[in-house]
């Protein structure tokens, strides 16, 4: 697939000079097929220009075809930000505000191929006061649902190390806060967060995939309530020595995913 993606391209408009090009690989669930976002080209005289638009390129793995959303307005608040995750077709951005004094989080439908050209951006509370490396590093983010589905949606933003930020910007509850895990640091240093629709909980697997820590999505003022469980695996396939050596030569990444039917899978 990578060779196919690299061969897909489009000519920039002759009327404007492309400012920069991003190459991204990230799946995001939406109301249509799960598109693969792989390229964004912004157009305008400068990033400070009021009128900056984007052509967003997707790959449809079902139809094996390229999909381009053209002339989408890039909001000012996202121009100095970086994408840290996508959930339910919405992107989660970390943006620098007020002369680099703090970082804020936005959820936006900017990357949603079904979104309108008038981009929706919802600001969340600024990140708390974590240590410097946590301010710079966010592993990913997850949402209970999209803002289009419910105003009472919740967002979890996982930082590097044993720290997670919870946000609920609207609806009947408006809560936010940060949680530091009461678990060994190394287990969750680079872990990622996911949301289980079946359990209505946020889950974070440990680096090796042997532990899960989770929180209720209906969090309130007490943001420290979390539980840690140990995973036990049955019917593990037997591998030969050469297969173990091959696995040892690879870097390990752990993802916890849930199917529409409610089945969960731990992917290593």
Helices and strands (H and E) in the chain: how many: 3, 18
**pLDDT confidence of residue 143:** 92
How do residues 13-53 score in pLDDT, each as one tens digit?
323 434 444 444 444 444 456 788 888 898 887 777 778 88
CA-closest candidate to residue 186, choices 207, 202, 209, 163:
207
Which of 58-62, 67-71, 206-210 shows the lowest per-residue confidence on average (mean pLDDT)? 206-210
CA-closest candidate to residue 232, choices 253, 256, 209:
209
Q: Is 212 helix (H, G, I), strand (E, B) or coil?
A: strand
Q: Are 140 and 160 in contact (CB under 8 A)?
A: no
- What separation in angstroms does the CA of 115 have from each of 4, 31, 44, 89, 258? 26, 10, 21, 9, 24
Residue 144 has pLDDT above 70, yes or no: yes
Residue ranges of domains in the chain: 1-74, 76-267
CA-closest candidate to residue 177, choices 226, 109, 110:
226
Residue 89 has pLDDT above 70, yes or no: yes
How do residues 128-142 score in pLDDT, each as one tens digit?
555 554 556 788 899
Residue 261 has pLDDT above 80, yes or no: yes
Query: Would you say the pTM of this structure is higher than 0.95?
Result: no
Q: How confident is the model at residue 220 (pLDDT cuts 50, 70, 90)?
A: low
Mean pLDDT score, 58-74? 88
Helix (H) or strand (E) holding 242: helix 241-248
**pLDDT confidence of residue 15:** 37
Mean pLDDT score, 125-130? 60
Residue 3 has pLDDT above 50, yes or no: no
Q: Is 66 helix (H, G, I), strand (E, B) or coil?
A: strand
How do residues 160-184 score in pLDDT, each as one tens digit?
777 788 888 875 556 666 666 655 5
CB neighbours of residue 30 within 10 Å: 19
**pLDDT confidence of residue 244:** 84
Question: Who's near 133: CB < 8 A, 6+ residues apart?
Answer: 160, 161
Phi-psi region of 191 (alpha: psi -120 to 50; beta: other; left: phi over 0): beta
Provide the mean pLDDT of the chain: 75
Could you say which DSSP state residue 252 is in?
A: P
Could you give the CA distance from residue 26 to residue 92 in angstroms, rounded to a whole number? 12
């Amino acid at each position: 697939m990578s060779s196919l993606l690299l061969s897909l391209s489009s000519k920039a408009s002759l009327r404007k000079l492309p400012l920069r090009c991003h190459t991204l690989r990230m799946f995001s669930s939406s109301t249509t097929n799960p598109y693969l976002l792989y390229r964004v080209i912004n157009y305008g005289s400068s990033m400070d220009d009021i009128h900056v638009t984007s052509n967003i390129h997707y790959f449809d793995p079902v139809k094996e075809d390229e999909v381009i959303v053209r002339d989408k307005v890039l909001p000012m608040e996202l121009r100095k930000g970086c994408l840290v995750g996508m959930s339910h077709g919405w992107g989660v951005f970390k943006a620098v505000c007020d002369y680099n004094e703090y970082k804020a989080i936005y959820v936006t439908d900017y990357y949603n191929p079904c979104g309108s050209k008038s981009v929706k951006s919802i600001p969340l509370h600024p990140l708390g006061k974590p240590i410097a490396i946590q301010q710079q590093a966010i592993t990913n983010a997850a949402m209970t649902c999209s803002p289009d589905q419910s105003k009472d949606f919740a967002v979890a933003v996982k930082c590097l190390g044993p720290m997670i930020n919870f946000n609920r910007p609207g609806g009947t509850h408006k809560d936010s806060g940060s949680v530091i895990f009461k678990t060994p640091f190394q287990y969750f240093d680079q872990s990622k967060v996911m949301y289980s629709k079946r359990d209505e909980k946020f889950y974070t697997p440990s680096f090796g995939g042997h532990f899960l820590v989770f929180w209720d999505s209906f969090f309130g003022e007490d943001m420290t309530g979390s539980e840690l469980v140990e995973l036990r695996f049955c019917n593990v396939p037997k591998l030969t020595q050469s297969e173990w050596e091959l696995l040892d030569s690879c870097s390990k990444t752990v993802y916890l995913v849930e199917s529409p039917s409610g089945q969960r899978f731990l992917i290593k």
